[in-house]
Every structure is written in C-alpha cells, then in structure tokens.
Chains A and B, each alone.
Chain A
C-alpha cells in the first residue's frame, strides 16, 4: 500500500529540506538554476521533489514537494489529490508571506476541505512585527481550522511535529467517516 504526504508553499520556504529530513533516501529533486531575480537562492524546484519512507512489506509513504512558483499552481491540486496530508510551508521573512499563504489556501480550497493540513511558518523572528496570529487569521478567514506552528525545517523534530499534527487530523477525519 502506498500513501503520500505533500509539502507545498512558495519558493524558498523549505519544502526540499523538509522532505530530506524525513526521507530515508536522498530526495529526488528537479532543481534548476534560479533566474528569478526576486528569489534569493541559486537553485529552485521546477518539477517536484520526491522522497520516501518505507514501512516494510512493500508499504511506502511517498513524500512530494510541489514547485512553489505561481506559474506552477495548476500542479498543486493534482499533487494534493488523495494525499494523506498537506503541509503548507511559509517563509515569514517574505514581505507578502500572509498573502502567499492566502493564495495557497485559495488554490487548494477544495482538496483541503477533506484533507489533513498543517501550516508551518519558517524564519519566525521576534524582531519582526508579524506573529503566528497573523497567519492564523488568514486560515480562519478562509474558513479552515488548521494548526499554525513555527518551524525550522532544518530541525527534524520540527518536521516530525508537522507530520504528527497531520496524522492526528487524518485519524480524526477517519473517525468522522466511520461515525457517519
């Protein structure tokens, strides 16, 4: 049996790093040299990232990272379809970070109504005026009840917490399906 977990979010939010923190093999990446002057990174993902966690007996959890640029937004719902859960990673250092979150919630509106989701906010800096509540307000405005947590994707424990939050929601949803 195979299931998938999807990491999405704008460029430079840490999707590739998050997958690398979980995957038992080096993630397959589709990075190319970055030509976007607005992005402060040398390479960026244009296809998708892929990692895997094997559970034995041929069962696997596939980890997908979506490309972050808006021009690839048509791919996001395709990748999210039938996912066990979705982590939306946001880079708080970006000036329009809350708007970026809103855009992802907008594009993924329909699949997220029936998919476990967690919002991970990276590069939280106490000197910045923006707080987690600002992101929570965006989530609430879109009518979702998703956890919003700070995350440093370089720390495996932080990435595991995203997965833990995702799995807990999935189990809650599964209980609801059984109940109905």
Chain B
C-alpha cells in the first residue's frame, strides 16, 4: 500500500489536531494510506494564506490553503482551497483530488490502472487536462452530493478542464475535483490531452451579448423551473 504524507505549514495546533482526527476516518483505503508528518517531504502541504509564501512549489506536490469562512478570494491556479469550519467531506474531497494527480501514487500502482487512469494521474494532469464523462455514474453517487448532477451535466457533452468546469457549474473547486477523482476511480472518466480535443481549439466562450436571445431566455427559464420545482 502506498503511503502519502500530509504536512501542515503554519497551521494553528487546533487545526493540525483536527486534520489528524479526519485522517483517522478517511486516511486509509485499500489503495493508500495518508500519514501526518511534522517535517520533511510530503505529497500535500496544508497552509494558510499567510504561510503560503513559505511554501516552495515543487512538481508533484500539492498545496491546500485553509481559508476563513466567507473568504472568496481565489487561490493560486494549482492550489486547493478548503474553508473553515473544516469539515470531513471537504477534506476527503481534497485528499481524493491529490490522489488523482499524485505521481507517487500513480507510480506505485501503475500496473492496476487503465491508460486513462495513468493519463489522469501523471504529473501533467496538474496542468489543466480535459475531462469528459464516458458513462453516467449510478444513482448512489448522483445522490451523494446536491451539486454532482449539475457538474455531470457539463462533463457529459464535451471535455472541459477543471477551471472551466468550476466556472460553468458555479461549484467550488474542492467539490469538482472530489467528483472527478471518484469518477476516475470508477472508470467513468476520460482524460484527454488538451491539444487532442477539437473543442479546445475554439475561442473562449462568447460574451453574453452575443448569445442567442432564445437561448438566454431558455437558460433563465430553466433557473425559474428549478426554483419552481424546488431543485435549486
């Protein structure tokens, strides 16, 4: 079993204790084990905005920034973000995302993955690969989070990268990467190198003013229908 290390940098002791408690619940699966370390190398560094400057970016190492409740300021494009109060589900989703892109994990279990898994998990996956749904997941996963259905709707029709998926769905990064990792683990996700997807050769989305009036009206109407049916 592969062991991945998580190291706090500049975190309050209470937060470190909390992360340790979370790891006891979600730190071990049949594929890997997470261990909390106080110093030395680690696959995941957890820090605050203020201590982020002390962290040196290294290929293959992920950084998670703990932010205060209501802090909507963006973090670095490669950084993960987790909000206070720290909760188990968000933490678990963040771990899944690191596992999905961890070269150490991929190398340690290369023989057990499909080509698509390997593509998702190699180091380049951190630099904006594209994901597309190969097959819809079962109802258990659909019902496990209120935003999953919405995210999947955008993955079903074309390949998108993580940032675009966040923008289109309006769902936070932690939830998106958590879902991507779970889909990948279930073999339902296709990972496409950016240059191979024809849709990525097009210009960025047109400004709203250029959208068809009927299309805009339909999108607005869908929002109202969701509210009317209690699906918002």
Q: Name A's B-contacting residues (CB within 8 A).
A: 1, 3, 22, 53, 55-56, 59, 61, 84, 132, 136, 140, 145-150, 160-161, 163-165, 167-180
Which B residues are in CB contact (< 8 Å) with A160?
Answer: 229-231
- Is B152 among interface residues, defined by CB-CB distance under 8 A? yes
Which A residues are in CB contact (< 8 Å) with B215?
Answer: 174, 177-178
Q: What are 12 of the A-B contact pairs (CB < 8 Å)?
A: A55-B225, A140-B135, A145-B135, A147-B142, A161-B139, A167-B225, A168-B154, A171-B150, A172-B153, A175-B154, A176-B158, A178-B215
- From B142, B155, B199, B224, give the contact of A149 (CB < 8 A): B142
Contact with A along B114-158 (1 / 0, CB 8 A): 000000000000000000011110110011000001101111111
How many B residues, CB 8 Å from partner? Answer: 36
Known: A160-B230, A178-B206, A179-B205. A171 touches B156 (CB 8 A): no
| Chain A interface main SS type | helix
Closest to B137 in A: A147
Which A residues are in CB contact (< 8 Å) with B202?
Answer: 179-180
Q: Do A53 and B225 touch (CB < 8 A)?
A: yes
Which A residues are in CB contact (< 8 Å) with B133?
Answer: 145
Q: Which of B200-225 contact A (CB under 8 A)?
A: 202, 205-206, 211, 215, 217-219, 221-222, 224-225
Q: Name B's A-contacting residues (CB within 8 A).
A: 133-136, 138-139, 142-143, 149-150, 152-158, 168, 199, 202, 205-206, 211, 215, 217-219, 221-222, 224-226, 228-231
- From B136, B222, B224, B229, give the contact of A56 (CB < 8 A): B224
Q: Do B222 and A171 touch (CB < 8 A)?
A: yes
B137 to chain A, nearest CB (A): 8
Q: Given the complex of chains A and B, what is the CA–CA distance between A114 and B168 in angstroms?
A: 19
A54 to chain B, nearest CB (A): 8
Q: Which of A84, A170, A172, A173 has the most CB of B within 10 A?
A: A172
